[in-house]
Structure 1
Amino acid sequence: MGASDRESPSGDETIRSRHDWAATSPSQAIVEAVATVEETTPVALVRETETTLYEYVDPEALDSLVGSDRSGSVAVAFDIDSLHVTVSSGGQLVIDLGEH
């Protein structure tokens, strides 16, 4: 995973990481981050929960939209169960572990 930190404002935990989308796709970074949050591996996450990122967002469209070299800033936010995920074209990935 890219550089990351955890913060806990108001009791909810937030994980932030910065990535180079040329080196790691946004969808792969999300899968790895969610697996880290769940204290497992990406492969075990799918095996244990039988859930894939595709059930929440189209990974190819996400990678194309957020990971592309374009002028301007793009951010996409969505929920994966109780996790709120925000990913931006600037390389930021934020996972809020609070209730939404």
Structure 2
Amino acid sequence: MDEGGRSTRSVGRMEPSQAIIEAVADREGVEPTELAPPEYETLYEVVDPGALDALFAPRANGAGRLDGSVTFRFCGYTVSVTAEGTVSVEPAE
């Protein structure tokens, strides 16, 4: 969904790190596999994808995360990930 410069998508069953790659690639008009150096920085350069995925993964007892969010800059965008399962991508100011 595009909301005035902001793209928002539901993570669903997808890991947040993969949802970020797909959302940024969509904004750039390229395939996710094309989101690579030298034209683009890697996600690893700005955040640990494994740690990000673990942060929003269900708890050991299977319960979902109730709240929390992470925001950072990636490939010229401000990216926000929430415990509710959304990834939003908007142009960085």
Unmatched tracts of structure 1, length 5 or more: none
Q: Identity of counterpart residues, as a percentage?
A: 34
Pick 1 or 2: higher relative contact order, CA cutoff 8 A, min separation 6. 2
CA 1:32–1:71 in 2, change beyond 3 Å: closer, same or farther?
Answer: closer
Question: Structure 1 residue 64 and structure 2 residue 54: aligned?
Answer: yes
2:10 aligned to which of 14, 18, 25: 18
State the AA in 1 paired with 2:9. S
**Residue 41 of structure 2 contacts residue 74 of structure 2 at CA under 8 Å; is this kept in 1?**
no
Count how many residue pairs are aligned between Structure 1 and Structure 2.
89
Residue 73 of structure 2 aligns to a residue whose secondary structure is strand
**Contact 1:68-1:89 within 8 A present in 2 as well:** no
Structure 1 runs (4+) greater than 2 angstroms displaced = 67-72
CA drift at 1:61: 0.3
Give the TM-score, by structure 2 length.
Answer: 0.84
Which residue pairs with 1:38 in the alignment? 28
